[in-house]
Structure 1
C-alpha cells in the first residue's frame, strides 16, 4: 500500500502559529513524512526507524528548516508601516507671541505607502517563504534518498561478505577433496596449489569488503548524525519492490510534484507580486503629522496655554520615473529568467528520470538473469565435483565454475541493491 501525504501551505494566515511551533513543527512534519514510507511491512521497520532518526537529527535538514522559518519572519516585517517620527524642538531664545513665549514644540508624523503596497510586499515575502518551504521538502526527500541508497549499499557489501565466505567454504571442501586425490595419486599437487591461490585471492577480497563495510557504516551513521560505529540492522535478503506506476505516470508526477519545480513556481508567484509592488512604489506616499507648540507664561497669558496645534499633511512626488520603470523592467527580466530556469530544470529532470528508469529496468533483468546463471553454475559444479572425485579430471574447470558462481551470486545481490536504489531515486524525483 502506498500513501501520499504532503503538507501544502496555500495560505499564510496562521504564520504566527507556525513560527511559534519551532522545532516541534519540524519533528512533527518529518515523522509524518517517514510514517508513509512505501516499503513492505516486513522490511519497513528498520529502514523507517533510520529515516526517522535522520529526519530528527540531520544538521543539514535542520538548517534548511531554519531557513524556512527565517523566511516566515520577513512577512510581518514588510507588511508593517514605516516607523513614525517624533521630533522635539527647544527654543533657546523663546519667540514671543501675544500669548506668551514659545518654549518648545513636539512634532509627530507617520508615512503611509500607497494603497495596497504593503499587501503586495507581504505577498512577495509569503511566496518566497513558500519557496523556502518547498526547498526544505526537497532537502528532506534528498536526505531520505541518501539514507536509503547508503542502506542498500551496506546491504550489498554485507551480502558480498556472506557470499564470499560461503565460496571460501566451498573451496575448503574442494581443497580437502583435492588432497585426497593427490594422496591417491589420481591428481597433481598443482591442483592443491591452485586452490591455495584461489583461497588467498578470496581472503584478500573478503578483507577489502570488510574494510568497505566499516567505511559505509560510518557514512550511514553520519547521515543520522550519530556515532560512526553504531550497529546497523540489515536484512538477509533484500526485498524486491517495484514501481506501481507506469513510466508516463511517473514522468507526469515528477513534473507536477518535484519540490525543485514547485519552489520555482512559488518564486514565479513572488515575482508577480513583486512587479505589482514595484508599480505601487511609483505612486505617491502620504504623510500625516501634528505639531504641538508649548506656550509659556506671558504678560497677557498668566497661566500659559497651548497656543498652537498644527495638523500636517504631506505627499511625496515620484518625480524621477526612470527609477520606477527600471524596477518594473528588472522584475520582468527576472520573470523571464525564472521561466527559462524552470523549463531547463524540467528538461534536466526528464533526462535524469530516463537514466533512473533505465537503471531500474536493467537491474530487474539482471536479477532474473543472475538467479538462473547461479543455479546453472551450482548444478555444473556438483556434476564436475562428482566427475573429479571419480576420475581426478577437469579440476581447472571446477575452479572456473567456482569463480563463475561467485560472480553470479555477487551480481545477483548487486542487482537487488541497484533496483531498490533506482526505485528510491525515482521516488525522490517525485518528491517522496
Structure 2
C-alpha cells in the first residue's frame, strides 16, 4: 500500500511539533464552539433524518445484513413420492408406493465462506452509508456558512446605510453655513441609492440560500433559519497532525471490496468441489396373502449417499478470472480516490491558511480606514469637510468588511471539508 505523508503546521507558530500517528488525526476547528453551534448540529441531524438518499442506503445496508442469514442456509430439501401403477413383485410382497427425501450439503467450509462473503458485503454498504452521511453534513455546513456570509454582509450594508444618512444630515447642515455644497449632498444620495441597490440584490441571494438550505433539510415551505452573526476566526490555528487519509470511508470501501473479492474466490473454490447428498427412500410393500413368513409385507428403507461432481469446471475458472480483473479494477479506483482525497485535503488546508491571511489583512485595513474616517470627520469642526474623501473611505470600509466576512466564511467552509476528510 502506498503511504503518503501529509504534514501541516500553523504559520503563526514556528515552534510547532509534528508527532507521527498510525491513523489520520485531524484537529479541525468546530465552528459551533464559537457561535450558535447547537443549531448547526440540529440542522445536520434533521437533514440526515429526512434525506431520502440516506434512507435508501440504510435500507440497502439492512438488506445486506439479512443476506448473511440467507447465505448460511442449506439448499432446499427434495421430497418426492410415487405410486406403482404396475406393482413390482418382491419376495416379501408387491411394492405399492415410494417416498423419497434428499438433502444436498455443500463441501465442508462452503457455507462459512458464503456467510463471511455476505458479511463483507454488508461492510461495504456500511461505508457507503457513512460517505453519504458525511456528504450531507458537508452540504449543510457549507450552505449554513454561505448564508452566514450573506446575512453578515446584509448587516454591514445596514450599518453603512445609517452612516450615509448621518453624512447626508451633516452635508445639509454644511450647505446652510457654506461649508458644503449641494453637489456633496447629491453625491451622498447617489451613494445611498447604490447601497439600496446592493441591499435589494442581496435580499434575493439570501432568499435563494435559505431555500437551498431548507430543501436540503427537506422542509415544506420557508421555515425560519437561525444563523449566527458573530462568527470569528480564532487567534491560534490548531495544529494538524496527519499521517494519511487511509481511514476515510471512501478508501475503506475499496479495502472491503478487495476483501470481498478474496472471499468470493474462496467460495468459488469451494463450490468447484463435490457436494454431498444425503437421502432416504421408503418403499411401501403389500403383504403376500398366499404365504406366511416373518418378513411378509415388510417395508423397504434405503439410506442413500451421493456426490455431485462438477466435471465441467469452465464456469469456475471463468469466475476466478473475473475476480482477478475486478480486484485490479478496485485497486486502480482506490488509488484514484486516494489521490483525489489527498488533493482535496491539501487544497482545503491551503485555502484555510489563505482565509486566515485575508482575515488578518482586512482587520488591519479596517482599523486604518476607521482612523482615516475619524480624522476626516474631526476636520469638520475647523474646516470644510471633503465628502469626496468620505465616500472613498466608506467604500473602502464596505470592501474591507465584505472581504473580512468572506474570509470568515471561507475559513469555516474549509474546516467543514477537513471534517469530511477526517
Q: What TM-score, normalized by structure 2, do the two folds share?
A: 0.86
Aligned length: 391
What's the counterpart of residue 10 of structure 2? none
State the secondary structure of the residue aligned to 2:108: coil
- Is contact 1:99–1:301 with CA below 8 Å preserved after alignment? no
The CA deviation at 1:164 is 0.5
Does 2:227 correspond to 1:237?
Answer: no
What's the counterpart of residue 332 of structure 2? 340
Larger RCO (CA under 8 A, 6+ residues apart): 2
Pair 1:305–1:181, CA change in 2 (3 A)? farther
Which has the higher mean CA deviation after the structures are superposed, 153-162 or 180-189?
Answer: 180-189
1:250-288 superposed Cα distances (whole Å, 9 cap, x missing partner)? 3x25x2321101111111111111111111121111111
Q: What TM-score, normalized by structure 1, do the two folds share?
A: 0.84
Pair 1:372–1:304, CA change in 2 (3 A)? farther
- Is contact 1:124–1:270 with CA below 8 Å preserved after alignment? yes
Distance 2:213 2:291 in 1: 86
Greater helix proportion:
1
What's the counterpart of residue 365 of structure 2? 373
- Is contact 1:105–1:293 with CA below 8 Å preserved after alignment? yes
What's the counterpart of residue 47 of structure 1? 40
1:81-128 superposed Cα distances (whole Å, 9 cap, x missing partner)? 111111121223333334333222111111111111111111111111
Distance 1:39 1:73 in 2: 39
Pair 1:314–1:187, CA change in 2 (3 A)? same
Does 2:307 correspond to 1:315?
Answer: yes
What's the counterpart of residue 423 of structure 1? 415
**Which residue of 96, 99, 111 maps to 2:92?**
99
**Which residue of 270, 289, 294 maps to 1:280?**
270
**Which residue of 157, 160, 164 maps to 2:153?**
160
The alignment's C-alpha RMSD in Å is 2.3
What's the counterpart of residue 316 of structure 2? 324
State the secondary structure of the residue aligned to 1:318: coil
State the secondary structure of the residue aligned to 1:237: coil
The CA deviation at 1:56 is 2.9
- Is contact 2:35–2:228 with CA below 8 Å preserved after alignment? no
State the secondary structure of the residue aligned to 1:292: strand
1:167-205 superposed Cα distances (whole Å, 9 cap, x missing partner)? 111111111122222333343322222222211121121
Pair 1:393–1:285, CA change in 2 (3 A)? same
Matches within 5 A, 1:344-359: 344-359=336-351
Pair 1:336–1:300, CA change in 2 (3 A)? farther
The CA deviation at 1:239 is 4.1
Does 2:135 correspond to 1:145?
Answer: no
Does 2:254 correspond to 1:261?
Answer: no
Does 2:211 correspond to 1:211?
Answer: no
**Which stretches in structure 1 are left out of the alignment for 5+ residues?**
1-35
Distance 2:344 2:68 in 1: 36
Distance 2:347 2:100 in 1: 69
**Which stretches in structure 2 are left out of the alignment for 5+ residues?**
1-28
- Is contact 1:98–1:300 with CA below 8 Å preserved after alignment? no
